[in-house]
């Protein structure tokens, strides 16, 4: 049996997670406005979201006992 998360939703969530983490670092003065991390973190989040959704490390034991995906 194969297991997978929701890659498209995870990509969107990952992008916004990265974006808001970058904004947190910016607004709390951890990085400068010109820091490349402001651009890179949303892209890293997007890629990480897709990879994590394909890997799907969470909830495998629950999925084994549940109904198949639609």
Partner 1 sequence: MNWMSRCACALAFAGLVVAGAATPAQAELTGGCKASGTQVQSGRFYDAVTTNFAKIPRAGDVKWKGSVPVPATKRLAVGEVQVKFPWPVGDIEIGHWGKNGKETGSNANTGTYHYDFPTLIAGIKVLVHGRDQEPSGVLCKGAVVVQIEGTSPFAWASLALTIVMVLNLSLTIRARKVRP
Task: Provide, rounded to whole angstroms, the least separation between the CB of residue 47 and partner 1.
Answer: 12
Minimum distance, C-beta of residue 20 to partner 1, in the bound complex (Å): 4
Provide the 8-state DSSP code for 28.
Answer: T
Binding site for partner 1 (CB under 8 A): 1-6, 9-10, 13-14, 16-17, 20-21, 23-41, 44, 49, 52-53, 55-60, 62-64, 66-69
The residue written with tokens 């607004």 in the block is: 27
Which tokens in the block code for residue 57? 């490390």
Per the CB < 8 A criterion, the answer to whether 19 and 38 are in contact is no
């Amino acid at each position: 049996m194969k297991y997978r998360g929701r890659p498209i939703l995870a990509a969107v969530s990952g992008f916004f997670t990265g974006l808001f983490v970058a904004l947190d670092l910016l607004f709390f003065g951890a990085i400068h406005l010109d820091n490349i991390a402001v651009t890179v973190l949303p892209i890293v989040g997007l890629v990480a979201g897709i990879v994590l959704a394909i890997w799907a490390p969470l909830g495998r034991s629950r999925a084994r006992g549940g109904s198949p995906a639609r």
